[in-house]
Amino acid sequence: MAAVIITSMKKNITATICLLFFLLIHAGVLAQTGGWSGPSSKEAFDKPNLHTAKDLYRMAREAMASGYLDDSRLFALRLFFDGNRNQDLLNLLGVIELQAEQPLLASEWLRRASALSISNKVGQRYLTRLPSRPRPIPVDQTKLADHFSEISEALPRLQDRLANPKLHFGSIMKALERGQVYLALALSEEYEKKYPGPDGSALTALCAWYLGRNRDALNIIQNQLQKAPHHSILLFVKAMIEDKNPGSSSGSFFRALYDLDQWTRALSLVDQFSKANPSSPDAYITQARIMLDLNKVREAGQALQDAGVRDPGNPEIDLLWVAYLLQRTEKDKAATRLARAFRRGYNMPSVSLTAALFALQNGRMNEVNVIISDAMSSRPFTDPEAYPIYITLLLMTDRTADARNALDEWKNRVAERSMLCYLEALYFFKTGDNQHALEWLRKGFQM
């Protein structure tokens, strides 16, 4: 009798265990197919201050570890748009995009993380395997129309091979990685026609950002986010353009030091950084910029040569050569360098605005007016050299109201710095308010 009871109990226990095991497995499958089981990422993104920064970061990591990349991204982006900036967060955003098979976006986040400090071991480990910062393929200023014609001719053949949205999407991202920015834009516009929806518009906004046309990109984003408020690429481009942090928005750690008037610190770190990063020109570029501001032309020339060895064809270096040659009153050579800067920097507003300064000096006012008008589609500028040149140009052409508007826009985007003070002084001198002008000058000298 006892044996019968024990046998019956064993059967019941076994059946119960099997049932529990089945329920656990079933629950796991439901959780996996049903999505992230933690707090709603969309609600967290839509409602700032719903969660603490610590909780948002923890949930972003947990969601990523569980494979819920869309949820992880929204938690992390909420932190970013709230103004949180540290390498861990930006590295996390980079790794999320890497796992989402978006290497171009991943590299942009990781470079921003690296701009926050002199070193970023986590970021550098990934960046060595990721695309470098896209630089437009070389096109002479006089041959842009021919470049557009070549794209128009090639487009039908390319589209025949892009049989589905995934292939088409991938071809746009690859074109951006290769620096074929106008081709990418043409492909994205075709994508919008073939596959209506936010994806095509987001790709067009991404191309507009890479072309330096931030106003066009923001107009698309503002319109499309009303329809798809959590779209990953729309939010990415919005984050890139609206980033006001002096570190992450600067493009490099040394550029941030320059902008914040930490010149002594920047110069003291040039050798250390350059030895640790043998392929990076960043330290030498900033050294050259500082030397030019201090009118140390010979030292600036040496720094520019060192930078050019590491990164030949960099339009930022060519623009600095323009400033160097102008300080040596070699105007013709400066004009030649400017043309060279345009070949790889036609997406940089500072290049075309520098061309406007040359046109102004030579009395070509129609050209000046066209460039100033065109620059509106690039505001707010993310090219760090654009605002100073643009505001100077507006003041030199007596557009004081426009200059005031641009100064206020720039002040809203950056920490106070000496260059901003000097341009405020120039504005007040131009408008006849010498007292305010002198106050801004003194403020600039004290920085």
Residue 93 burial (CB < 10 Å; 0-12/13-18/19+)? buried
| Domain 12-127, architecture per CATH | Alpha Horseshoe (1.25)
Query: Is the separation of the CB atoms in 102 and 75 below 8 Å?
Result: no
- What mean pLDDT is predicted for residues 162-172? 95
Same CATH fold assignment for domains 12-127 and 143-242: yes
Q: What percent of the chain has a predicted confidence (pLDDT) above 70? A: 92
Q: What is the pLDDT of residues 358-413, one digit of tens each?
A: 999 999 999 999 999 999 989 999 999 999 999 999 999 999 999 999 999 999 99
What's 434's DSSP letter?
H
User: CB neighbours (10 Å) of residue 270?
Assistant: 18
Domain boundaries of the chain, sorted by first residue? 12-127, 143-242
In the chain, the amino acid numbered 42 is K
Say which residues have a Cβ less than 8 Å from residue 53's Cβ, sequence separation at least 6.
79, 82, 84
Q: What is the pLDDT of residues 323-345, one digit of tens each?
A: 999 999 999 999 999 999 999 99
User: CB neighbours (10 Å) of residue 403?
Assistant: 23
Q: What share of the chain is helix, strand, coil (3-state, %, to 5)?
A: 75, 0, 25
- Please state, in angstroms and rounded to a whole number, the distance separating the CA atoms of residues 140 and 393: 24
- Please state, in angstroms and rounded to a whole number, the distance separating the CA atoms of residues 14 and 99: 41
- pLDDT of 159: 87
- pLDDT of 179: 97
- The pLDDT mean for the chain works out to 92
Q: What is the pLDDT of residues 272-308, one digit of tens each?
A: 999 999 999 999 999 999 999 999 999 999 999 999 9
pLDDT for residue 160 is more than 60: yes
Q: What is the pLDDT of residues 201-210, one digit of tens each?
A: 999 999 999 9
Task: Band the pLDDT of 34: cuts 50, 70, 90.
Answer: low
Say which residues have a Cβ less than 8 Å from residue 63's Cβ, sequence separation at least 6.
36, 38, 41, 69, 71, 72, 75
Query: Is the separation of the CB atoms in 260 and 246 below 8 Å?
Result: yes
Say which residues have a Cβ less than 8 Å from residue 334's Cβ, sequence separation at least 6.
321, 322, 325, 326
Query: Is the separation of the CB atoms in 300 and 324 below 8 Å?
Result: yes
Task: Band the pLDDT of 268: cuts 50, 70, 90.
Answer: very high
pTM of the predicted protein model: 0.90
Q: What percent of the chain has a predicted confidence (pLDDT) above 90? A: 88
| Domain 143-242, architecture per CATH | Alpha Horseshoe (1.25)
Where do the DSSP E strands lie in 47-131? none
pLDDT for residue 8 is more than 50: no
